[in-house]
Structure 1
Amino acid sequence: MSFELKVKQFIEQEQLIQQDDHLLIAVSGGVDSMALLHYFVKTKTQWGIEIAAVHVDHMLRGEASAQDRAFVQQYCDEHGVTLHARAIPIPEIIAVENGNSQLICRRERYRYFEEIVQKTNATKLVTAHHADDQLESVLMALTKNATVNGMQGIRSQRIFNKKSLIRPFLTVTKSEIWEYLQKQGQNYREDASNEKDAYMRNRFRHHVVPLLKAENPRVAEQVCHFTKHLQEDDALLMTLAQDIFSKTVTKNSENMYSLEIKAIQLVPLALQRRLVLILLNYLYKDSSTIQSYALLTSLLKLCDTTAGNAEVHMPEGFIAVRRYGNLTIQKNVSTQLNTFTDKKLILSANEWTTLANGVRLYIAELPELASELLTDTAQLFYFNASKLTLPLYVRVRKEGDRMLLKGMDQSKRLSRLFIDEKIPLNERNSWPLLVSQTDEVVAVIGVRMGVYFSTTARPNDDTVLIVD
């Protein structure tokens, strides 16, 4: 089967292109992207589409980088293709951030791609990923993470800036692309950095892949079939998992989710894994975090039992806590609430205050209590403002804190109250407390209210605290 026919069948099978599409083709000047650009120059009329090209000079190779841009510009001029190009000072960015050069290059490159997609109203961004890239990606995923997500490799299309990113060459190998470009009599630019073993992908490309191809010359194609089947199987299981997720996982706030462990234990392990992956996709943007085998395993282990309390500290300040058969994942409250240790959070009248654990507080005078403030979950606590002068404050626990409770002659130590109320040890030093202007603890928010408050309005009560 010819190269053109193979690509055409793949595009049709995957439904990558529709008539009247405006394709923005990412072109570096290398063999893969030049073959991609040339293929669409030849076939754009056949597909009924418009094309343009986009190029980024990373300024990492001095004059050679500039010559890459000039080479791509010359090709585009000769073939009537509009080229959008930009030089991005990657060395300066690396010097400031001191980060991974490959990740920074990719981030800045795709930022520019997003900008041009938006500017030109292109319907799809097109990249030249091919079957050998797929093989390398699967091998790297197997080496690093070995999660089901990672083993699915590169997809033929994905959402990009509310449009699509497509990869029409994913079915053909590097050698097939090279042969195609040679037959077309087209030239390309070599990137000397591709020969270096500094990058993981290059090491696999230079040393591991040749061994596999010696065993089976069609190994890249075989891996493409494998990833395709894996993607199809996973799509079905993810649909089932998404349905279960919507019924068993509760979103309490922007960064807080909870679920009953027994409900998760009722579904097969294959779906449990995907429930966790769905949750991680809500929490994180970084694919390496989402696909972390260690993180996935740790969270699944928390769901092994409902007995006892346990926690797992996650990336970016999240924490997963198992307590009384319930699993809660949220931003580490102790990290966020510790900002109140030295500086209290002011709780003023007539405005909502949202705490780090998602609880909202509002103080209103009784005659002005508006019905729209009251949700189905709101709790009302009435008090007399002459005895508990506004504003109130929120802070975390300090050594020696006590609180006077209704029906008691003497105040109770908070350390004892936390034990009696079964507050987990790891949460006690970060639990939000409501305090007066004299720094007296008047409520442990969400646990117990002090003597100043009543759940029913008393004759002298003129103010209400809403906890939601």
Structure 2
Amino acid sequence: MSFELKVKSFIEKERLLQQDDHLLIAVSGGIDSMALLHYFVDTKEQWGIQIEAVHVDHMLRGEASAEDRAFVQKYCDNNGVYLHARAIPIPAIMAQEKGNTQLICRRERYRYFKEVLQQTNATKLVTAHHADDQLESVLMALTKNATINSMQGIRAQRFFAGKTLIRPFLTVTKYEIREYLLRKGLDYREDASNAKDTYVRNRYRHHVVPLLEAENPRVSEQVTHFTKQLQEDDAFLMALAQDVFSQIIERSNENTYSMKIDAFQLISLALQRRLILILLNYLYKDSNTIQSYALVTSILKLCETTAGYAEIHLPEDFLAVRRYGQLTIQKNRPLEGVASSEKKIISTANGWTTLTTGERLCLAKLDDLTSELLTDTAQLFYFNASKLYLPLYVRTRKDGDRMLLKGMDQPKRLSRLFIDEKIPLNERNSWPLLISQSDEVVAVIGVRMGMFFSTTPQPNDDTVLIVD
């Protein structure tokens, strides 16, 4: 099958083009992108489409980079193709960020592609990824982060900037592209950095791929078939997982998800993994985080049992907690301050005070206690105001906090109390404490009341704390 027929068949099978599409073709000046641009110059009437080109000069190779742009511009002028081009000072950005060169180049390049897409009538961005790129991507994923997603390699199309990115050359090899370009008598620019082993992809390209091709010259095509089958199988399983996700996972807000672990354990391991991937897609934007094998495995391990309390810290300050047979993933609440300006005052004149935990507190004189203050869920704690010296305060704990309990000669450390009462570790630093004027802890709200309080009024009690 000829190069042109092979590409045409792939475009039709994958439904990459529609009548009246307006393509924005990414062109570096190298062999792959020049073949891509020329293919659509030759076939645009056949497909019934419009084309424009976009080029980025990364300014990494001095005059050679500028010559790449001039080369692409000349081809576009000669063939009636409008070229969008920009020079981006990658060296200056690298000096400021100290990051990975390839990642920075890709980020800035696609940022410009997005800008042009949004400024024009283009419906699709087109890149020249081919079968050899697919092979290299799968090999890199296999040796670095072999997850279900990463092993699926490069997709023929995906959403990008509210539009679509397509890769019509994924079915053809580098050798076939070169033969096509030579047959057409077309020139291209060679990037000297492609010959270096500085970049990971280049090392695979120069040393690993030739060994595989010696065993099977069609290995790139075989991997392309493999990734396509994997993508189709995974799409089916993900559809099943999405249905199960809606049944067993509850979303409280954009940062809080929970599920019953026993229900999760009833589904197959294949769907369990995909449920976690769906969940990570809601939490994160970074694909490396979403596809992290270690992250997926650690959450799976957390769900191996329903017994006991356990937690793992996730990226971007998320926390996965197993408690009472339920898994909850939520933003880890930051530690609250203990400065006096951050304390909440609780007094008989304030009425109801709502805490961050959702509980409400109210102080009232016994003589002023009315039915309006008493709800079906209200708890009443009586005390003698002269012993606590109102007003009281609410703050979170600090090192060394202790509380005197009834029947004890010495105050108990709150760190020990939290352990005894099975308060989750991630909640202890934000748990509300009731404090006297002398900064003494007199109650741990919702957990234990100190020695000054009783659930029935004593002879000298004159005030009541209402917790609802």
Same fold (TM over 0.5): yes
1:53 counterpart SS class: strand
Alignment match, 1:33: 33
Cα distance in 2 for residues equivalent to 1:112 and 1:437: 60
- Say if 1:62 and 1:444 are closer, same or farther in 2 by CA, change over 3 A: farther
1:165 counterpart SS class: strand
Q: Report the TM-score when normalising by structure 1.
A: 0.82
5+ residue gaps, structure 1:
365-378, 455-459
Cα distance in 1 for residues equivalent to 2:355 and 2:58: 43
Alignment match, 2:18: 18
**1:372-451 alignment, distance < 5 Å:** 394-402=395-403, 414-415=414-415, 417-424=417-424, 426-427=425-426, 429-433=428-432, 438=437
Alignment match, 2:158: 158
Read off the aligned partner of 1:46 and give its amino acid letter. Answer: Q
Alignment match, 2:228: 228
Cα distance in 2 for residues equivalent to 1:124 and 1:400: 62
- Say if 1:395 and 1:149 are closer, same or farther in 2 by CA, change over 3 A: same
Q: CA deviation at 1:446?
A: 6.8
1:185 counterpart SS class: coil
Q: Is structure 2 residue 341 aligned with structure 1 residue 340?
A: no
Deviation per CA, 1:161-192: give whole Å up to 9, x if none.
11111111111111111111111121111011
Cα distance in 1 for residues equivalent to 2:467 and 2:79: 71
Cα distance in 1 for residues equivalent to 2:16 and 2:187: 27
Deviation per CA, 1:203-226: give whole Å up to 9, x if none.
110011111111111110110110
Read off the aligned partner of 1:204 and give its amino acid letter. Answer: Y
- Say if 1:344 and 1:316 are closer, same or farther in 2 by CA, change over 3 A: farther
Deviation per CA, 1:358-396: give whole Å up to 9, x if none.
x568999xxxxxxxxxxxxxx98999xx99869x76534
Cα distance in 1 for residues equivalent to 2:360 and 2:87: 52
Read off the aligned partner of 1:172 and give its amino acid letter. Answer: V
Cα distance in 1 for residues equivalent to 2:70 and 2:45: 26
Q: CA deviation at 1:464?
A: 10
Deviation per CA, 1:116-150: give whole Å up to 9, x if none.
11111321111111000000000010001111111
Read off the aligned partner of 2:328 and give its amino acid letter. Answer: T
Read off the aligned partner of 1:199 and give its amino acid letter. Answer: Y
1:181 counterpart SS class: helix
Alignment match, 1:118: 118
2:75 counterpart SS class: helix
Read off the aligned partner of 2:299 and give its amino acid letter. Answer: L
Whether contact under 8 Å (2:338, 2:395) holds in the other structure is no
**1:164-175 alignment, distance < 5 Å:** 164-175=164-175
Q: Which has the larger radius of gyration?
A: 2
Deviation per CA, 1:207-249: give whole Å up to 9, x if none.
1111111111111011011000000000111011111111212
Range with greater deviation from structure 2 (47-56 or 204-213) = 47-56
Deviation per CA, 1:389-444: give whole Å up to 9, x if none.
69x76534442254999xx9x998644552453213x3254233265695566875
2:429 counterpart SS class: coil
- Say if 1:346 and 1:192 are closer, same or farther in 2 by CA, change over 3 A: farther
Q: CA deviation at 1:260?
A: 1.4
Read off the aligned partner of 1:192 and give its amino acid letter. Answer: A
**1:311-390 alignment, distance < 5 Å:** 311-333=311-333, 336-337=334-335, 339-341=336-338, 345=342
Q: CA deviation at 1:41?
A: 1.2
Alignment match, 2:460: none
**Aligned length, in residue pairs:** 439
Read off the aligned partner of 2:400 and give its amino acid letter. Answer: E
Alignment match, 1:274: 274
Alignment match, 2:212: 212
Cα distance in 2 for residues equivalent to 1:238 and 1:40: 34
Alignment match, 1:304: 304
Read off the aligned partner of 2:431 and give its amino acid letter. Answer: P
Whether contact under 8 Å (1:403, 1:440) holds in the other structure is no
- Say if 1:422 and 1:202 are closer, same or farther in 2 by CA, change over 3 A: same
Q: Report the TM-score when normalising by structure 2.
A: 0.82
Whether contact under 8 Å (1:137, 1:153) holds in the other structure is yes
1:340 counterpart SS class: coil
**1:79-90 alignment, distance < 5 Å:** 79-90=79-90
Whether contact under 8 Å (2:41, 2:79) holds in the other structure is yes
Q: CA deviation at 1:297?
A: 1.4
Cα distance in 2 for residues equivalent to 1:285 and 1:341: 34
Read off the aligned partner of 2:301 and give its amino acid letter. Answer: K
Read off the aligned partner of 2:76 and give its amino acid letter. Answer: C
5+ residue gaps, structure 2:
363-376, 456-462
Q: Percent identity?
A: 68
Alignment match, 2:287: 287
Read off the aligned partner of 1:10 and give its amino acid letter. Answer: F
Read off the aligned partner of 1:215 and give its amino acid letter. Answer: E
